[in-house]
Each structure stands twice: as structure tokens, then as C-alpha cells.
């Protein structure tokens, strides 16, 4: 049974993450929001520290982790676990209390790393160890409908030849490699979609442009063209076999891991806004009483209590999704519920906090307006709000994607 208290073994990591957020990320937040596309060199030291923690085993959850189902019977008997997924969610929440864009800029912590951790075989896990990997799914004509990917991968001898275009690739310019989703056979639909690790500098892979964005400006977002890009067949993650019964569940398993992480980002950003707003209200003489009914309090305090409750519900859903992943339980439903709830909550909370703080929230004097801008993407990438609701509906009703579109 899940315990909702923070596991004792994770508390040092969470404390360290908060210190990093307070002393490194937040002080540099405005700087790299303004200097869009400039690499935050301050993160190199932090990345080295995380590598050290991961190597020593003292920082479980400090690095990108995955959702894997291939455990042995002996592992199933070890009892309840509070492992790397829960630790990652809790530490990411703290880091995004500092700055979401800078978190997304951390070396070797890209979404592609989570894909490798979730889908790669043992040989690939070892070979791509230490590689910073972005993830390329979205295409100009394919956004939320990942099953309709048009980028192709054709086997030619010992290599796959990739052709297509990918957009909105987080950490695309800075990463060492990109995990590219492509189809082996369009006629077989989603079952033929696989993910490939394409290392930077591979002939036929071209960085087309960097995007200018509303939020998370510290994180570079790139577009790529693949023209007869030849990739070793060993770089196809997982099995090359096409299983029409399984669909593209193998590739989609990545989202079982990354959606709770994005939910944690929204939680961290919203927490920062709530803390700032509560302190500002207190300075103005409006104290929030957590023991008194909301309707008996100042209107601003009542609103803040409602926002706090909304945050708490998203937090609990996110913990459940991560906990299930740690305990090798199917968590696709919970991951989508957490992402949907936290994504919407993050946007709602930050914008309401801007409203409550008036001119101080709208100006660049403080970071609240930035948190409002950053939070919007967390309701969009890794599957939009609408897609998450569709996935939840399919799971609850027991319907396939063909039955409920």
C-alpha cells in the first residue's frame, strides 16, 4: 500500500534539490530567460554532481529513470518499493520551484534519456550510458496523434535509413543524441512505430532552426530534418519486431515515465507561485488560516486555499503514478491522470496568483510572471490536456483508440 509521507531515504536528495533550486537555479532564472538559447554553463557543475551521486548509488532518482516491466519473480517478492521514479518526481518538483527551463537544460537528463531507460535492452543501456539524449516525436502535421508519425525508417543492410522532419525537440541543439520516433511500415499503423537513437553529427541529420518561445526560454527547442540519415540497426531501441497485437506499447511506455515527471514540473512551478503569493499577502496583512473555513476569510485568502487544494490533488495523483512505476505496476492511466490534472492546475494556479498580486505579479520585478509563462507548456508537451483526457476515458471505459477518438 502506498504511504503518502515522503520516504525517509529520499529526504536528503529532496533537500539537496531544494538547495540547488534556491541557490543556483532561481538566482539565474531571469538571466537565462533573457539570454534565450545561451547555454547555462552553471549547470555543468550540477550535472557532474548528479553523475557522482548516481555512480555512488547515493542519489537514487537523481538521474533520468525509466519504467521497466521485465523484472524477475524474485524481484516481485521484495515488497513495496519507493524507488527512482518517486525520487525523481520529488526532486524535480523541488528543482522546478527554482526554474523549469534550467531543469530542462540539465546535461544527460533529457526526455530521450527516459526513453532509453524505459525501452532499451541491456546492451543499449550500457552503450548509451552517459549520453545526453533529446526526444523527437512531434512533426509539422503530427502533434498529439503520435500514432500518425510520418517519418520513415527503412532497413538497408546493417542500417536504417531515416527520412522526415521533427519539430519542438527539447534540448535538441545541446544534446549528444536524439531519440527519433519513426515508422517501419506506414501500412501497419502504430504497431510499426519504433524509436531510434541518432547521434549528433550523423550524415543526413540537419538542425533546421531554434524556436523562440513564450516560456522555458532557457531550454533550447529545435527542429530537425532527416534526409537519408543512416543509423546503425543496433540503435533501434528494444525489439525490431513488429507486433500488431501489442501496437506501439513499447514506444509509448516512455510516457508512463515522462508524464509524471512533467506533472512534477507543473507542481514545482505552481508551488513557487503559491509560496510567493502567500508571502506577499501576509506582507499586506492578509493571513491565510488553514484551520478556518474558506468562506469566513478574506477573499484573497479564500482563493489561495482553493488553489492550495487544487495543488494537493495534483500532487497526490503524481505520487501514485510514480509509486506504481517503482512497484512495476501498470501506471498508464495514473500517469495520464497526473499529467492532465497537474498541467491544468499549473496554468490555473500561476495565472490566478498573477491576478491576486496585481501589478507585482505582472511586472518583471519578480519571477511570478515568468512562472505563469513557463507553466503553459507543461499543459501541452508530453501529450496535451485533451489527449490525456482521451486516454483516461479509454482506460476507464475499456475502449480502444479506434472505438473512442
What cell does 148 get?
Answer: 500518425
Task: Give me the numbers of helices (H) and strands (E) for the chain, helices first please.
Answer: 14, 7
Distance from C-alpha of 216 to C-alpha of 371, rounded to nearest angstrom: 9
Contact between residue 190 and residue 141 where contact means Cβ atoms under 8 Å apart: no
Distance from C-alpha of 263 to C-alpha of 176, rounded to nearest angstrom: 26
In the beta sheet, which residues pair with residue 223? 209
- Is residue 353 left, alpha or beta, with left meaning phi > 0 and alpha meaning psi from -120 to 50? alpha
Task: Give kind and range of the element (H or E) at residue 230.
Answer: strand 221-232
DSSP letter at 350 equals H
**At a CB cut-off of 8 Å and minimum separation 6, what does 308 contact?**
274
Burial 93-113 (b: 16+ CB within 10 A, else e): bbbbbbbbbbbbbbbbbbbbb
| CA 264 to each of CA 13, 166, 356: distance values in angstroms, whole numbers, following the listed order | 15, 26, 24
Q: Is the dihedral angle over the CA atoms 354, 356, 358, 360 positive or is it negative?
A: negative
Distance from C-alpha of 112 to C-alpha of 119, rounded to nearest angstrom: 10
Contact between residue 134 and residue 112 where contact means Cβ atoms under 8 Å apart: yes
Q: Is the dihedral angle over the CA atoms 322, 327, 332, 337 positive or is it negative?
A: negative
Which residues belong to the active site? 382
What cell does 1 get?
Answer: 500500500
Angle CA(15)–CA(16)–CA(19) in degrees, nearest 5?
A: 90
Contact between residue 343 and residue 381 where contact means Cβ atoms under 8 Å apart: no
| Locus of grid cell 507543473 | 266
**Do β-strands 205-210 and 177-183 pair in parallel, antiparallel, or remain unpaired?**
unpaired
Distance from C-alpha of 196 to C-alpha of 232, rounded to nearest angstrom: 9
Amino acid at each position: 500500500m502506498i504511504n503518502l509521507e515522503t520516504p525517509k531515504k529520499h529526504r536528503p536528495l529532496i533537500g539537496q534539490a531544494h538547495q540547488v533550486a534556491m541557490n543556483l537555479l532561481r538566482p539565474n532564472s531571469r538571466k537565462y530567460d533573457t539570454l534565450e538559447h545561451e547555454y547555462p554553463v552553471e549547470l555543468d557543475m550540477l550535472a557532474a554532481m548528479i553523475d557522482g551521486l548516481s555512480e555512488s548509488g547515493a542519489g537514487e532518482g537523481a538521474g533520468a529513470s525509466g519504467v521497466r516491466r521485465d523484472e524477475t519473480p524474485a524481484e516481485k517478492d521484495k515488497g513495496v518499493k519507493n524507488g527512482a521514479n518517486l525520487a525523481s518526481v520529488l526532486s524535480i518538483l523541488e528543482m522546478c520551484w527554482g526554474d523549469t527551463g534550467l531543469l530542462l537544460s540539465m546535461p544527460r537528463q533529457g526526455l530521450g534519456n527516459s526513453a532509453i531507460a524505459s525501452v532499451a535492452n541491456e546492451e543499449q543501456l550500457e552503450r548509451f550510458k552517459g549520453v545526453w539524449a533529446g526526444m523527437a516525436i512531434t512533426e509539422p502535421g503530427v502533434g498529439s496523434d503520435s500514432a500518425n508519425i510520418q517519418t520513415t525508417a527503412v532497413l538497408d543492410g546493417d542500417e536504417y535509413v531515416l527520412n522526415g522532419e521533427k519539430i519542438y525537440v527539447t534540448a535538441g541543439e545541446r544534446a549528444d543524441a536524439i531519440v527519433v520516433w519513426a515508422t517501419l511500415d506506414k501500412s501497419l499503423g502504430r504497431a510499426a512505430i519504433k524509436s531510434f537513437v541518432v547521434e549528433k553529427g550523423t550524415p543526413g541529420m540537419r538542425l533546421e532552426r531554434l524556436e523562440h518561445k513564450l516560456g522555458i526560454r532557457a531550454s533550447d527547442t529545435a527542429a530537425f530534418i532527416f534526409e537519408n540519415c543512416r543509423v546503425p540497426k543496433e540503435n533501434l531501441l528494444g525489439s525490431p519486431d513488429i507486433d500488431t497485437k501489442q501496437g506501439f506499447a513499447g514506444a509509448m511506455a516512455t510516457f508512463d515515465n515522462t508524464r509524471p515527471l512533467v506533472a512534477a514540473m507543473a507542481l514545482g512551478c505552481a508551488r513557487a507561485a503559491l509560496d510567493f503569493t502567500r508571502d506577499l499577502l501576509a506582507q499586506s496583512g492578509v493571513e491565510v488560516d488553514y484551520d478556518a473555513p474558506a468562506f469566513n476569510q478574506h477573499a484573497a485568502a479564500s482563493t489561495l486555499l482553493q488553489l492550495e487544494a487544487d495543488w494537493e490533488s495534483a500532487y497526490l495523483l503524481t505520487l501514485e503514478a510514480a509509486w506504481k512505476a517503482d512497484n512495476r505496476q501498470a501506471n498508464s492511466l495514473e500517469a495520464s491522470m497526473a499529467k492532465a490534472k497537474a498541467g491544468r492546475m499549473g496554468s490555473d494556479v500561476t495565472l490566478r496568483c498573477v491576478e491576486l498580486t496585481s501589478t507585482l505579479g505582472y511586472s518583471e520585478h519578480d519571477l511570478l510572471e515568468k512562472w505563469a509563462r513557463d507553466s503553459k507548456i507543461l499543459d501541452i508537451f508530453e501529450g496535451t490536456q485533451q489527449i490525456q483526457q482521451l486516454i483516461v476515458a479509454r482506460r476507464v471505459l475499456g475502449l480502444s483508440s479506434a472505438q473512442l477518438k
